[in-house]
Structure 1
Amino acid sequence: MTRHQRLDKLKDTIRKYSRYVSPALLAASLVAIITIIALFIPPYIGMADNGDYFRMLYSNGLYFNAPDYDSLYLGYFNKQFGIFQYFNENGATLTSSQSLLIRFSIWVNQWFDQHVFDIRVQGAILTLLYIAAVYLMVEALTWKMPAKYGYIVAILSVFVFADTAYTAFFNSFFSESMVWIMLIYLFASGLLMFRKRYNDYAMMGIFFISGLLLTTSKQQNAPVGVIIAVIAVIYIFVRKERSYRVLMASSLACLMLAGVATYVLIPKEFVNINKYHAMTRGVLMESEDPEETLQSFGIDRQYAVLNKSIYYEPYTTIDVDSSLLEDEFYSHYGFVSILTYYIAHPEQAGKMLDLAAKNAFTIRPPAMGNYEKSVGKPFGAQTSFFSGYSELKRALAPKTFGFIVIWMLVILGIYMPHFIAAIKAKHVRSMLRLPLILMVMLMGLSGIFVSIIGAGDADLSKHEFLFTAAFDLVTLTAVADAICRHLWQNKPEALKKA
C-alpha cells in the first residue's frame, strides 16, 4: 500500500468515525472519564479547607462534624460534613450564587442521607455541568472545521479541561468551580452565536444565566457584570427582531445591576479584611518610605508598624477589629484612593503587577492539599494525576506583567483583520468574536487589578483564578482557530460562512 493510499484510508476512517462521534462529543466523553476517575474513584481528589469554608457552610445548613477537623486545615481534603437537623440560626456571611449550588446539592444528598453531606454529591453535579460546558466549547471551536483538524482540537481541549488543577475544585466549597464552569458557558455561548450554531435565543439564555452566576459567584467578580454589559452591547444587533433586541438589552442591563449589587453587598467584615491587606500587603509593602506613604493618605505614620502584617495573625500590635483602627486607619482610604496612589506611583504599581504576574499562571493554589488524611499521603500533598497542562503552564509561562500585555496585543492583533473586514461588510454576526475575546481578557485583567488594589498580595494565586481561566480559554481558542485557519478568514464572502 502506497503512502497516498494509506492517507486516503485514514481520511475515510476519520470521515466514518465523525458521523458517530463528533470532536465535541469525543472531548466531553474523555473529560468525563478522566474527571470521574480523579474525583470519584479512590483515592478521592478534592481541596483542603484554607479556613474559608465556614463562610459558605453554616449559612447554608452545614457544619463541621469531623472531631479532628482543625488538624486538616490546608493539608487534607475532607469529604463529609454534618447537615443541621433543627433551626439554623446562622445568617449569610456573604451573598453568592454558590449558595444555590450548595443548597441544591444538599437537597439531592438528602435523598440518600439526611444527616451527613458528602461533598462528592456537589462534585457530581458540577461534573455534569462541566461535561456539557466542555461539549459546547469544543463544538464552538470545531464547528464546520474539517474532521482531521477537529479531533486535534478536541485532544488539545481534553489536555486543558480534564486537568485536575481545575477539576479538584469540584470537591470543595471554593467558588472557583462556579467561576470556571460559568466562564466556559459564557464564552462558548458567545462563540456559538458568532458561528450561528444552535438557536440564538437559547444561546442568549445561556449567555445571560452564566454571566449572572459568574458575576455573583464572589465579591471580587463585581466588575465582571459591568464588563459584559458594556462590551456585549454589539450582541443586541445580531438579529433584527424587536423581541430579541429587547431581551438581549434587558439581559445586559440585569448583568450591569448584578455587578453593582455584588459590590454593594460585600459585608463590612470582608471589606476591612481586604482593606487591611490592600494597605499592609500592597501599598506599604513596596513603598520606600512607608511612614510618608501613610501620611499621604492622612494616616498617622505610627501605623507603619503594620507593614507586611496579615489580618489573621494571632498576636498583633493592635486589634484589627478595634474602633481605633476603624477611625484612624480604615476610614482614610478605599479602592479609589489606592488606585489613584498606584497611578501616581507607576514604579510601585509595576512591582505589584509583576508580583501578581508570578501567580497569574498558577491554577492549583500551592497551599492546599488534595488527599484525605486516611490515604496516608504527607500533609499538604497534591495530586499529579492528569496535571500535565497546569504543570507545564506554571513552569513555562513568563512571570512578568509585560508578557500579559504582549499576549493581549498579539491575540487582538491576529483577530483584528477579520473584525475590520466584518465592519466593512456590515456583517454584525461576524463582528462578535473580537469583542467577546476582549471581554474575557478584560474580565481576567479585572481579577488581577481587583486583587492588587483590593487586597495586596494576600492569597494572590487564588484571587487571580479568573485571569488564569480567561488566559486558557482565549489561548485555546486562538490555537484552534490557527489550526483550522479561521484566523485569516477575513474576506467578506467567507464571513457569511463563519
Structure 2
Amino acid sequence: MKIRIRLEWLAVIVAAAVLLPLLFFSPVGVANNGDFYRIMLAGGIDFTDPGESYRDKYFGYFHRLYHYGPFSADRYISSQIIPVFIAGIIGRAVNSQTFDIRILSLLYSVLYVAALYIIVKFNKQRSIVFNTVLIAGLALVFLDIGYIAYFNSFFGEAVTVIFMLLTFGLALALPHSDKPSVWLLTAFYLSAVCLVGTKLQNAPIGLLLLLLGLRYWKLRADRAWRWTVGIWSAVLLLATVTMYAAAPSGLKHINLYQTVFFGVLKDSPDPAADLRELGLPEAFKVNAGTNFFQKDTVIKQNDPCILAALEGISHKDVLLYYAKHPDRFLQKLKRAAKNGMSIRPLYLGSYEKEAGKPYGAVSYAYSTWSTFKLKVMPNKLWFIAAFAAAYLAVLAAEYARRGRSVQQRLYLEALFVLALVGMCGFTVPLVGDGEADLGKHLFLFNVCFDMMMVVSVLYVVRIIVKKAGLPRGA
C-alpha cells in the first residue's frame, strides 16, 4: 500500500526531527544575561539555588531546572508572560518541586511547528522542485539552532520569531481563497497582537500590521467579516498604544540614556554641541560613549540631574536630531549592519554546567545557516540596502503585473509589509536604545531578513520551474 503524506505534515515531521534532539533529548539553550528574572516571575518560577555564584548563574551556562516562587508580573508588560504563566501552571502539575524549562520549550515548539505547517499548507505549489526547496529552505533557516535555542530560555526572542512566522504565515493564508474563514482572520489578529506585545521595541510594527489587517476588509463583504476586521483592528491599535503607555518609567529612562549617551554621543566629534541641540546640559559630555550599566561613569546614570534632564526630552527629539544630521544616522546604520548578521549572542553559553563543557561554550549543532550568515554574508550596509532594493523592485513589478486580482494584491502587500517590518527592526533599536547590545536588538531584523531571503529563493525557483517545465506533483 502506498502511503501519501501531505507536504505540510512532512514539514511537521522534519521540524520534530530537529527540535526533539536539540531541545529535549540532549537539550541546549541560551544562558541568562540578567534579563530572565522579570519574565520568570510571571510563571511563578525562581532560581534553584539562591546561593549560586554569579559566574555560574549568568552568561556561561544554560539552566534547565528551576524552583517555584510567587507569581508576579513585576509591572512588566509582555505577551511572553502568557506562555510562561501557562508553563508554570503545567510545571506544578508535573512536578510540584522542580520546574523543567523544557515544558516552556514544548509550548513554544507547538506554536512554531503550527506556524511552519500554515506556511507550507498555503504556499505549496504543484511542483516537486518548488515544494522540495520550500521544505528545505524553512528547515535550513528557521530550524537553525540560532533560533530554536532561545526556546530553552526566558528571552523574548523566542516569542518574536514564533509570532513573526505565525503572523505572516496567516497573512499569506488569508488571500488564498475567495472566502477565507473568520477564524483564520481572528488567528491573524491574535498572532499580530502577541507579536506587537512581545517587547517595547516591537510596538511600532503594530501600525504596519494594522494597515495590513484593514486591507483584508476587501476579501469579504458580509457583516460578520467586516465587524471582525473592525473590532480586531481596534484591539491591535490598543495593544500598540498600551505597549508605549505601560512601559515602566525605569525602562524608559534606561533606553533614553542609551539612546543619547551610547547612541548620539558615541563617537561624536562634538558631544557638547549635540547635547545643546538635544536641549541637555553640556556638562553631560563627560558621559559621552557610556552605557547605562557601566560602573566607571563620571556622572552616575541615575543621578537626579540626569534623571530630570532626560525627562525633558523623548525619542522623538532623537529622531529629529538624526533627521537634521543624516550623516550621523548613516554612521549608525553602518554600525548596525556590522552587527546585523548574527542571529544569536555568542557570548552566552549553550550547555548546562553538568554537560562538562567549558564555561560559555556554544553549540554549533544544526547551525549551517547562522554560521553562513555570520561568516560569509557581507555585514555591510550596501549589501542589506541592495538586497532590500532588489526585493522591493521585484515586488513592485509583480504588483503591477498581477494588480487585477484582489487576492494576489493582498498576498504581495503582506510581503511588502514584511519588508517594512524588517526596516523598523533595523532602525528602531538605534533610535530606541543606541548601540547597546546591537547584535541582540537586531533580532527582529534578522527574522525579517531571513524570511525575505527564503521568499526570494522560492520566487527564483518558481520562475525556473515554469521556464524549464520541470516535473509537477499531484
- Using structure 2 for the length normalisation, give the TM-score: 0.93
Q: Which residue of 2 aligns with 1:462?
A: 440
Please give the residue correspondences for 1:253-292 in structure 2 after superposition, counting only pairs within 5 Å: 253-292=234-273
Task: Please say if 1:113 is aligned against 2:91.
Answer: no
| Conservation of the 8 A alpha-carbon contact between 1:232 and 1:436 | no
Contact 1:81 1:117 (8 Å CA) reproduced: yes
Task: Give SS of 2:203's match.
Answer: helix
Unaligned runs of 5+ in 1: 1-15, 490-498
CA deviation string 1:345-389 (max 9, x = no partner): 111100100111122221111221111111121221111100001
From 444, 453, 466, give the equivalent of 2:422. Answer: 444
Following TM superposition, by how much is the alpha carbon of 1:482 offset from its aligned partner in structure 2, in angstroms?
A: 2.4
Instruction: Give the counterpart letter for 1:217 in structure 2.
Output: T
Is the aligned partner of 1:185 residue 2:169?
Answer: no
Q: Is the 8 A contact 2:23 2:149 kept in 1?
A: yes
Post-superposition offset of 1:304: 0.8
The 2-side partners of 1:235 and 1:334 are apart by: 34
Q: 1:94 corresponds to which letter in structure 2? A: Y
In structure 2, the residue matched to 1:138 is: 120
1:40 matched to 2:24? The reply is yes
Q: Which residue of structure 1 aligns with residue 78 of structure 2?
A: 96
Partners of 1:71 and 1:230 in 2: CA distance: 47
* C-alpha RMSD of matched pairs (Å): 2.1
8 Å Cα contact 1:363-1:468 kept in structure 2: yes
Q: Distance in 2 between matches of 1:226 and 1:114?
A: 42
Would you say the 8 A contact 2:43–2:87 is kept in 1? no
For the residues of structure 2 that align with 1:430 and 1:246, how far apart are their CA atoms? 23
Residue 461 (structure 2) pairs with residue 483 (structure 1): yes
Deviations 1:303-342 (A, max 9, x none): 11111112112343233223221123x1242111000111
Give the secondary-structure state (helix, strand or coil) at the position aligned to 1:367.
coil
What does residue 277 of structure 2 align with? 296
1:420 aligns with 2:365: no
- For residues 416 and 145 of structure 1, what CA distance do their matches in structure 2 show? 25
The residue type equivalent to 1:189 in the other structure is L
Residue number among 44, 63, 67 corresponding to 1:82 in the alignment: 67
In structure 1, the residue matched to 2:207 is: 226
Matched, 1:58 2:41: yes
Is residue 196–residue 203 contact of structure 2 (8 Å, CA) maintained in 1? Answer: yes
- Alpha carbons of structure 1 residues 95 and 368: separation in structure 2 relative to 1, 3 Å: same
Distance 1:159 1:354, change over 3 A: same
When residues 91 and 475 of structure 1 are mapped into structure 2, their CA distance, relative to the original with a 3 A threshold, is closer
Using the alignment, how far apart are the partners of 2:177 and 2:123 within structure 1?
A: 12
Change (3 A) 1:393 1:22: farther
Of 128, 149, 157, 2:138 maps to 157
Residue 22 of structure 1: aligned partner? 6
SS of 1:485's partner is helix
Please say if residues 29 and 152 of structure 2, whose CA atoms lie closer than 8 Å, have aligned partners that are also in contact: yes
Q: State the Cα distance separating 1:488 from its structure 2 match.
A: 8.9
1:281 partner amino acid: F
1:12 — aligned with what?
none
Partner amino acid, structure 1, of 2:250: E
Contact 1:275–1:454 (CA under 8 A) maintained in structure 2: yes
Shift of 1:477: 1.8
Are 1:23 and 1:147, in contact at CA under 8 Å, matched by a contact in 2? no
Amino acid at match of 1:285: K
Name the structure 2 match of 1:493: none
The aligned runs of 1:336-375 (5 Å cut-off) are 336-375=316-355
Partner residue, 1:400? 380
Tell me which amino acid in the other structure corresponds to 2:251: F
Give the C-alpha shift of residue 91 in structure 1: 5.0
2:227 aligns with: 246
Offset at 1:228? 0.6
SS at match of 1:484: helix
**2:279 is paired with a residue of what secondary structure?**
coil
Do the aligned partners of residues 152 and 299 (structure 1) sit closer, same or farther apart at CA in structure 2, a change above 3 Å counting? closer
Distance 1:333 1:402, change over 3 A: farther
Unaligned runs of 5+ in 2: 468-474
Number of positions where the alignment pairs a residue of Structure 1 with one of Structure 2: 465
1:70 corresponds to which residue? 54
**Aligned counterpart, 1:6:** none
Amino acid at match of 2:94: F
Q: Is the 8 A contact 1:222 1:262 kept in 2?
A: yes
